[in-house]
Structures are given as structure tokens and as C-alpha cells.
Amino acid sequence: MNNILITGGAGFIGSNFIRLLLSQTQYNIVNLDALSFTGNLSNIQDFQDHSHYRFIKGNICNKQLVNEIINEFKIDAIINFAAETHVDRSLLTPSDFIQSNIVGVEALLEATVENHIERFIQISTDEVYGSANPNESFNENSLLRPNSPYAASKASADLIVRSFIQSYEAPAIIIRSTNNFGQYQHIEKFIPLSVTCIMNNQKIPIYGTGENRRDWLYVEDNCRAILSIFENGKIGEIYNVSANNEKSNIEIANIILNYFGKNQEMIEFVDDRPAHDLRYSIDSSKIRNELGWMPIYSFEFAINRTIEWYINNQSWINNILKDENFQKYYNIQYRSV
């Protein structure tokens, strides 16, 4: 597998994954991204002229375009990062999520089968399992119980992938990772939003009481996991990826406040969102035991490195802050600023 089509490669995880491939492998990469909400050309600027890389603007729902790319570049494998991803936005415009996360995945799978692609990787999420009870962790065989339109769209995509595996022998693998954080993550997400607020002397908005818990996974560790699964994972399987860094939103906020020497007066609790899962927790022993993957970065190192990246890339942040789409959304979700 020499030629890879990566969809959604101008987004957060996708751009970090391409950066990993270009630095450590000899794969030829075609990046197909619609540059909708989270797709950002600034995320891929540092490798846009790389000899093993090509960018094409387009939508995964455009099956004709996908087929043309597969044929022109002799694509061997597809890794699908393309998705609408933010739960809050899915509550405002669920139809966008159904189109990208369900219809788009089906289109890619059809192209995979028709063009005899060797491997298809679907990037999913731990949110498909729903909220975990205390001391409970979901494994790859756990029931899917999505509670938001975003989670439901991703769970639907997973089931469609399964159906293509069973019905058409599609060479597909599903990866379900916990909450990623790191460089190039859009500032609507909690960690970069919190850092941005403090840098602009604004309070960090936190839903409810801030007790919602997530297992935080540094994006570079997740990208290493995806590469390991891509190269060595078993077709037809599902792999959970987690780092065992479970922390509440209020804990994360306090870590960021302490970094900047601020106190809890810089926190503003806002009305909780509907369908806000209290806790996510998944068991990643399968990838650890079968493929030998494990995170190499401590949470403390990774969160400090992440904060420093946003401090050093304020022009990247400012371009998003100027975006009318972001301003409108932020005011609707949290408060008028």
C-alpha cells in the first residue's frame, strides 16, 4: 500500500496524522478535504510542498470525484477522517452531520468496493458507546448507545462499515478513540477554547458543574495508534484507543488556570447542553496486547506542550476568532461577548 487517500486531512487529527506519515514513512498521500468548518489550510501549510503530498479540495459525498482521485493517483488505501465533529453543533444542525458522517462514509465505502481498495480505515469515536457508569469501561463488543446527533451519526457510520464488511467483504477497520487534544485543534473544543479565553482575559465557560469526565488522549499518541492499526491491524476488526487520562472538565480548567497563574474566578458555569454524557471510558487493551501500542507522552507533558503551542500561534487563533461562523456559534452556545 503505497498511495493513500486521506479524507479530512486539513482538520485537527487528520493534519497531525499526515504530518506523522510524511516525517516517518514513504507513503504518497492525497488529501481530500472540503474545507468546511474545521478544515483549515493553515493546518497543512508546513507540508503543502512536500513531494509525497497532494491536496485536493472536495467533498467525500462526491463519489465521482472520489473515483477520479482513486484512478488518477492509483490509490491503494483510504483513511477517513472527514466528519462533522462537534457535539454542540450537531444539536444546532443535525442534518449536516447526517450528510457528512453517514452519507459521505457510504459513498467512500462504495468507492472502496468498486475500486478494489486494499484497506479502508474509519475514524470513529468513543462517544458511540454513550455515557459510562462509574467503574465501567466499554470494550469493542459493547453496545452502541449514542445520545447526541453527532454520536448517532458516527455510530450509524460504524454500522454501515460493518454491513459493507459482511455484505461486500470490504477491507475495513474501525478505530474508536477517546477525546483528543493537541496542536491545531479548533478553538471551539474545550482545551483550546479554555486557553484562548484566558489569553484574551475572558472567563472559561463550563457546562453545568464541570463534573463531566473524559479520557484525554494526546493527538500524537492517537496518530501513532492509527498508523499501527493501518499497517498491522486485522481487517474487519474494531480497535479502541485510550490513554487512561480520565479527568473532569473542572480539573482540566484548573490545570489551565494554574499554568497561567489564574484562579477559579476565571470560570463561568453556563447552562448544561442537552444529551451531555457524564463520562466516557473505553478499554484499549486490545490494541495494546495485539499491536503493542501504548501512549508515550504523559498527560502533564502533553497538556503543557499544547498550551505552549496555542501561546506561540496566536495568529492561527486570531484567524478563527475573526470568522463570522465561529462568532455566531460561540454567542449562541455560551453568551454574548
Give catalytic residue positions: 126-127, 150
Distance CA 143, CA 238 (A): 13
Whether residue 164 contacts residue 109, with contact meaning beta carbons closer than 8 Å, is answered with yes
Distance CA 153, CA 40 (A): 23
Q: Which three cell numbers stand for residue 19?
A: 504530518
Cα 312–199–327 angle (5° rounding)?
A: 100
Residue 66, sorted as left (phi over 0), alpha (psi -120 to 50) or beta, turns out to be: alpha
- List beta partners, residue 269: 206
- List beta partners, residue 80: 7, 122
Rg from Cα positions in the chain = 19
Cα 314–52–305 angle (5° rounding)?
A: 30
How many helices and strands in the chain, by DSSP H and E? 13, 12
Distances from the Cα of 309 to the Cα of 63, 89, 153, 192, 249, angstroms: 37, 25, 31, 10, 20
